[in-house]
Amino acid sequence: MVLSVQVRRFLLSGVLATAVHFAVALAMIETAHAEPAIANAVAFTVATAFSYVINTLWSFGSSIDGRTLARFVTVQLLGVVLAAAVSGTVDWLGGHYIVGIICVPVFVTPVTYTLHRLWTYRPRVQT
């Protein structure tokens, strides 16, 4: 299976955003002695901002503006709900939590990519 340049960039952007999240959370916990929940909330916010910028400019070749930002955040929030639903379903079915963790990117990534491609970064209709 050959993935388009856009899909490969989207996937790499996700890996980089995850690394940003990890680095920020770790730094806050280890150096600032922040509570893990607070550190992860801040790290999630920073990683989401990073993800928005890199996906907007690099993955989708769009411009940073209020419209794409609002749509990006909406899709990301939907992704959080979907992640909880996927892992909750695996748990409800009696699966190990590791299976749920593995299933989250398998199910959530294609949905968020598709929504970003078709809605977040959809070109504006000129009237």
Of 61, 84, 110, the position where a domain reaches its end is 61
- Domain co-membership, 77 together with 106: yes
Domain encompassing residue 91: 63-127
Summarize pLDDT for 77-103 with one digit per residue, the tens. Answer: 999 999 999 999 999 999 998 998 899
- Domain co-membership, 112 together with 81: yes
**Phi and psi at residue 112, in whole multiples of 5°?**
-65, -40
Whole-number pLDDT of residue 90: 93
Tokens for 44, please give them. Answer: 């999630």
Count of domains observed in the chain: 2
Whole-number pLDDT of residue 124: 79
Whole-prediction pTM value? 0.88
The contacts found for 14-23 with CB under 8 angstroms, 24 or more apart, are: 14/51, 14/105, 14/109, 16/50, 16/54, 17/47, 17/48, 17/50, 17/51, 17/54, 18/47, 20/46, 20/47, 20/50, 21/46, 21/47
% of the chain exceeding 90 in pLDDT:
87
Contact 110, 75 (CB under 8 A): no
Binning pLDDT at 50, 70 and 90, where does residue 127 land?
low
- Domain co-membership, 51 together with 74: no
